[in-house]
Structure 1
């Protein structure tokens, strides 16, 4: 019996190893890839209200034909992904996307360039912010990266922008920064060897950096977590502080978890200390639940308000499938049943009523300054537009990455052969105060880069005394 158990374990380990390797090395035939491209286009047009709002259907169809014509060899799933993601990037809808297939890529235990970088579409294109996991840094903080493996920083950013979806190039560059090592490896075949040319002050240097395997880097990070916070050093979605009698609320995500308790506590401190200036920081806030924005606005506004004028929804197979999944075993209510019986391809328009003002003993009437940037997205941008429309205070920073008339409410499916996850916008949101042609972000009252927006807010406060 003992021998049988040992052999069984060995066989199991061999099978698991083979399965993992086969996933890593799995290739697609030209016919399979062509079928996936056709499926992508079909799902896109069936589900999205207007995928060609920025990029013409005529050009898109030509691009699709060129890609299909070039699919003459077997490709790995990741190489196929790199070929078709630029199609969606051209549509300029951040919610319609083929996300980076990280799970598949991570099976390879890839190399990481263990630094945090900031990417921009304007010079300096790449800035080194810090090393990861407290590793010794060979690149000085805030150095400008000139090239990596002789590839100019400008070209790297351009390639990454073309492989990320979003409404603005700046958003796509910054969003792509979090996957820089993925792009370096798969676009330029760095294989963990990085020749980095950087500029710091007046000095220009070329250094060689050896990459670190992802699993090893994770182990280092986990050890740091255990030492510093018993396994959890993630920042809260919101925090509060008072600096020089100015209240600062940092909002990283619009999430219900702990929000009401946090908001009551923060505004209680503001009220009890008679603080007249409040800074709300939405820099790098990617959104979340818009209802949290409604609740937050109850602390700031004293008259009925709304974030949206109207919402337009397209009925489709994928949208209905998501609704059925959410309903589960429950019996659909009248509204859900009516929607499920709608013909696919039809469109429903819903006009939004204003939110009534609730009783709130912590409602704030002082000065408010809102910080935003190109990474202020989705429901965070909706909040900013509402804040601006009702003239609640000054907005400081960059134009938001999220648009004031934008697509969203994603449905998710997978391409049949590659199994790549495909998200598609199903709904068009009109923020309050928006016209038909307003496909733009929230424009700040005072422009400032992200790193200087808080300082700019304090300067404005000081000048208004």
Structure 2
């Protein structure tokens, strides 16, 4: 790198760091304490049992300690870093404060241009390369030992403490999505990363200059468009790929989003599967953190042999925020009789709904071959529910890791924001019991074949190769 570029990057990151610190509003002690009180009250009013893992006594003690730590005004990001570990102790992935990424991104912050995998156990941080024309200073599969003299173990533990979820593995995996934000917010890396790493049993050190986020996003989009010769589609939640030589179809299923679009996709996908006489399906939900469970129902329609259900029962707590959510969804519409009954129920009331089996639809494309579902610690919420349904009805084999989402779990979020900092938070309003779960089954979906997530696809393909005539 020549001297001119070095000076330019130094000035960019110096100015950038100044902008980050100067552009955020600060809040006085009274405002921050009021935000804390609002959050605690909202959780207790909305959640069925927020203290199912962490006792109310300990939580209240932590709240008192937190308030005493408020000595001077803080900006939104620093207040988030202070309060989020408190919420993470509740161990509910749906009860959360969203990191203020929109504020952070306003300054066009630096990006460490590598794909990062975090784990609560050693190796804590593994990097892999983007398929981009960038300097490959970190080799594929490098184990990062430290960044700017901060040990990898501390980095991962700090990130876990800033993410909610039922398992530490899920919290680490999910936290990797905001790795650059955490590095800057916690350790003030300012676009310069002094990294020690291990590769092929050799320890090396390297200094990497980050890339401005907007420049990196353009580079990534341009490369993806060039590689496929077509513009990158927006919101690619699910896709289908055929391997006709082994009569196999691969579903890359990233999110349970957009039901209308999914219904069109899934019907055409199974039409293609039938036309090509596919005998094996691999459904990859290793990077799927959930969404709309109705999408799971629609997918299972093409796999099930008998009527089915994903849930045995759900318990719902009526609250002000839950009623507000209904009213927000009904803006511009006439309230139904059922809406009025719901809105008139007392706040704090618990209702239990027992689910009935969903009848099978008539379809010429129902699949009767082998099904393999790939899971990881990142598989959460509706994605984990989908995997549990597949396993319970023996519709396929689960291959990979225990899911981050549990088979008895809280969910169905309501969303609000704090009055002063405007931080957005979500709270679970229901308790779900998945099909086949007992009341004390606070665990994820255990795979039929336990394999590290990054090896699950290869394992499934090897299984298929050993099937006579595939």
TM-score strictly above 0.5: yes
Q: Find out whether 1:454 has 2:457 as its counterpart.
A: yes
Alignment of 1:252-401 (within 5 A): 252-255=254-257, 256-401=259-404
Q: Find out whether 1:207 has 2:210 as its counterpart.
A: no
Indicate the SS of the match to 1:433: coil
How far apart, in 2, do the equivalents of 1:275 and 1:123 lie? 40
Contact between 1:114 and 1:132, CA under 8 Å: does it hold in 2? no
* Higher mean C-alpha displacement, 25-34 vs 411-420: 25-34
Indicate the SS of the match to 1:325: helix
Q: 1:225 Cα deviation (Å)?
A: 5.6
Q: 1:226 Cα deviation (Å)?
A: 5.9
Q: Find out whether 1:412 has 2:415 as its counterpart.
A: yes
Q: Which runs of 4 or more aligned residues in structure 1 lie more than 4 Å from their structure 2 counterparts after TM superposition?
A: 20-23, 225-231
How far apart, in 2, do the equivalents of 1:285 and 1:106 lie? 24
Q: Deviations over 1:87-106 (max 9, x none)?
A: 11111111111111011111
How far apart, in 1, do the equivalents of 2:72 and 2:358 lie? 56
Which residue matches 2:236? 236
Contact between 2:20 and 2:104, CA under 8 Å: does it hold in 1? no
* Higher mean C-alpha displacement, 146-155 vs 212-221: 212-221
Q: 1:279 Cα deviation (Å)?
A: 1.6
Q: 1:81 Cα deviation (Å)?
A: 0.5
How far apart, in 2, do the equivalents of 1:330 and 1:267 lie? 36
Q: Deviations over 1:384-440 (max 9, x none)?
A: 111111111211100011111111111111111111011111111111111111111
Q: 1:52 Cα deviation (Å)?
A: 0.8
Match of 1:246 among 248, 253, 278: 248
Which residue matches 2:145? 146
How far apart, in 1, do the equivalents of 2:325 and 2:235 lie? 31
Q: Which runs of 5+ in 1 are unaligned?
A: 1-19
How far apart, in 2, do the equivalents of 1:313 and 1:233 lie? 37
Q: 1:203 Cα deviation (Å)?
A: 2.1
For the structure 1 residues 325 and 247, does the alpha-carbon distance in structure 2 shift closer, same or farther, using more than 3 Å as the test? same
How far apart, in 1, do the equivalents of 2:373 and 2:388 lie? 11
Q: Find out whether 1:434 has 2:433 as its counterpart.
A: no
Q: Deviations over 1:66-112 (max 9, x none)?
A: 10111111111111110000011111111111111011111222222
Indicate the SS of the match to 1:361: coil
Which residue matches 1:111? 110
Q: 1:273 Cα deviation (Å)?
A: 3.7
Q: CA RMSD in A?
A: 1.9
For the structure 1 residues 148 and 38, does the alpha-carbon distance in structure 2 shift closer, same or farther, using more than 3 Å as the test? same
How far apart, in 2, do the equivalents of 1:453 and 1:392 lie? 18
Q: Find out whether 1:51 has 2:53 as its counterpart.
A: no
How far apart, in 2, do the equivalents of 1:71 and 1:396 lie? 47
Contact between 1:198 and 1:204, CA under 8 Å: does it hold in 2? yes
How far apart, in 1, do the equivalents of 2:281 and 2:224 lie? 32
Indicate the SS of the match to 1:258: helix
Which residue matches 1:72? 71
For the structure 1 residues 234 and 322, does the alpha-carbon distance in structure 2 shift closer, same or farther, using more than 3 Å as the test? closer
Q: 1:306 Cα deviation (Å)?
A: 0.5
Contact between 2:119 and 2:173, CA under 8 Å: does it hold in 1? yes
Count, aligned residues:
446
For the structure 1 residues 275 and 176, does the alpha-carbon distance in structure 2 shift closer, same or farther, using more than 3 Å as the test? same
Q: Find out whether 1:174 has 2:173 as its counterpart.
A: yes
How far apart, in 2, do the equivalents of 1:352 and 1:358 lie? 18
Contact between 2:24 and 2:103, CA under 8 Å: does it hold in 1? no
Q: 1:23 Cα deviation (Å)?
A: 7.6
Indicate the SS of the match to 1:144: strand
Contact between 2:282 and 2:374, CA under 8 Å: does it hold in 1? yes
For the structure 1 residues 231 and 455, does the alpha-carbon distance in structure 2 shift closer, same or farther, using more than 3 Å as the test? closer
How far apart, in 1, do the equivalents of 2:395 and 2:231 lie? 40
TM-score, normalising length from structure 2? 0.90
How far apart, in 1, do the equivalents of 2:339 and 2:368 lie? 40
Indicate the SS of the match to 2:96: coil
Which residue matches 1:15? none
* Higher mean C-alpha displacement, 291-300 vs 243-252: 243-252
Indicate the SS of the match to 1:78: helix
Which residue matches 2:7? none
How far apart, in 2, do the equivalents of 1:312 and 1:118 lie? 35
